[in-house]
Amino acid sequence: MFAIFYVIDLVLSFYIWIIIASAVFSWLFAFRVINPSNQFVSAIGSALYQLTEPALGPIRRILPNLGQIDISPVVLIFAIIFLRVFLATSVAPMFGVRI
């Protein structure tokens, strides 16, 4: 049972890094630091968008419009951290697992 909780925690941690990478990529793209016509850069941007948009889209619809500021990645990261702590302190001990 420990392995299941450990893998879930690892996947959630990895997803946080994907969210951060997506946010940094969007800043680099917005400030034209990276070349958007480069096929490799475009593929990375598309992959990051497809990985994060299913989770960020609903959050963006709920949050008020702040103009050019998008705080949905921050909200999602806080939610993932809450989920990780909840799993480690409330759910895992019910199964006799300490993470």
The tens digit of pLDDT for each residue in 26-52 reads: 999 989 899 889 999 999 999 999 999
Sign of CA dihedral 84, 76, 45, 32: negative
Note the pLDDT of residue 98: 77
| Per-chain mean pLDDT for the chain | 93
Residue 41: count of CB within 10 angstroms of its CB: 15
Q: What pTM value is reported for the model?
A: 0.91
Residue 9: count of CB within 10 angstroms of its CB: 16
For the chain, the domains span 2-95
Taking alpha carbons only, the member of 9, 20, 13 closest to residue 86 is 9
Reported as a pLDDT band with limits 50, 70 and 90, residue 66 is confident
Note the pLDDT of residue 60: 94
